[in-house]
Structure 1
Amino acid sequence: MTYRKLQELPSQSLPREKLLRQGRHSLSNAELLAIFLRMGIKGKNVLDMSSDLIQSAGSLDALAHMEAAEIANICKGIGMAKAATLSAAFELGARALRETLSRQPIQTPEDVYDYLTTAMRWKEKETVLVLLLDTKCRLIKPVEISSGTLNESIAHPRDILRPTVIHNAYGFILAHNHPSGNPAPSRTDDLLTERVRECSKLLGVRFLDHVIIGKPTETTNKNYYSYNHPGGDRLKDPGQERTLYH
């Protein structure tokens, strides 16, 4: 394959000029990355390097959840400065998404997954948190309860319920991730859910759901598991969407 410098490409093919002329949505993933990377390396222009980076990560989604050091390690020529720029850009996008979602009511398990996926889906340790909701099921705040080992976290119903009482929340959703990617509940998850449900009744606190965050793998295409809706990913009645948490 003949190597071509970016300057040798037609001006309409250059990522920055294309963005200014046609808008950001017209650019491919590699073209968007190229704008942040700015320059290629000897024997490889920045567009080719961007494509190689996505391929080395496995997907854009996987790349977006890597720390700077991981990005620098997977592709030759990506130094720490460029890797830090990409990591910061991905985190800024993730925070903007969470900020948008936090202003909308959380009505279904899918809403929980959409809000938490960027923060929890790629965690290497199992982390437990609660989402505190007001009477309109809008997020008051997320509260991290514990972070454990690769496949087990330690959480007590007392610690799970305390933030709901302190913040006088309408109710709460318990959530944790499975680093393996498979969101199927374990026996430990079942026992914790039942204990939290019993304690919530005693305190008069609304326990709205327990959602396990996973990610698609070779053996499952399920992204999450909901104790209040274990049979499917979406909650819909014929002709209209049904909310679960009101």
Structure 2
Amino acid sequence: MKPDEPDHPAGPEGPSADALPSSPAPLCGVPLRERPRETFERMGARHVPDAVLLAILMRSGVRGCNVIELAREILARYGSLSALARASVRELSRIRGVGRVKAQVLHAALELSRRMAEEEREERPRMASPASVAALLRDDVLRLENEVFWVLLLDARHRLLSPPNLVTRGLLDSSLVHPREVFREAVRSSAAAVIVAHNHPSGDPEPSAGDLAVTRKLIAAGRIMDIRLLDHVICVPRDAGTGREYLSLRAAGLLNFEEGSEGCG
């Protein structure tokens, strides 16, 4: 099928909605930089409107309705991508300007998205306790010779949204670990909560005055931003000889974390 030709397949129930003789409305009236592929190149996939992504998949519109207008009409009809994903190929193919081929393309793309989300749900571990945090960071903690500060971004069920974010290296200090750096990715990722962690290469998990000062500052910032700081876990190498692999500031009762949250541990 050529890019500018409409789909006119006929299914067993008869011709699809756009099987009547017609030619797609051209994009010649749309400024070049506002056309779907040019917009995609200019803005990047993460920032283009849903209608642009839909238009790229469909490639062409129908008489009196270019592909961008058609994409907007489809989104308006269903109200959300979730509702669109629930539509069957047969239902989509009956929309004027879509047809069976475009319906299959849309359905396939949305199904791939659903499967990817399912894979991510299965792969993302839940940070249910300080022990789970220590286990996640164990290999890094074992090989590190200097202090490293991590932020774990979590969803509402305390599952990891992404691999641990490294914020800073070196001795933990309130001037180095700023709430802005800690919560920046949390905001971008729409995280519901965070856990922070750092290592003590010395093998002693007891917190320093600096550790406590940094944590107090982060607790206060999290309350303001409505992103809960669930815990601060200090990790040490398993072979340090102390008999402890981590210390949870929440579990130890050393600080007053946000009241009412489930916490980590």
| TM-score normalised by length of structure 1 | 0.50
| TM-score normalised by length of structure 2 | 0.47
Q: Which has the larger radius of gyration?
A: 2
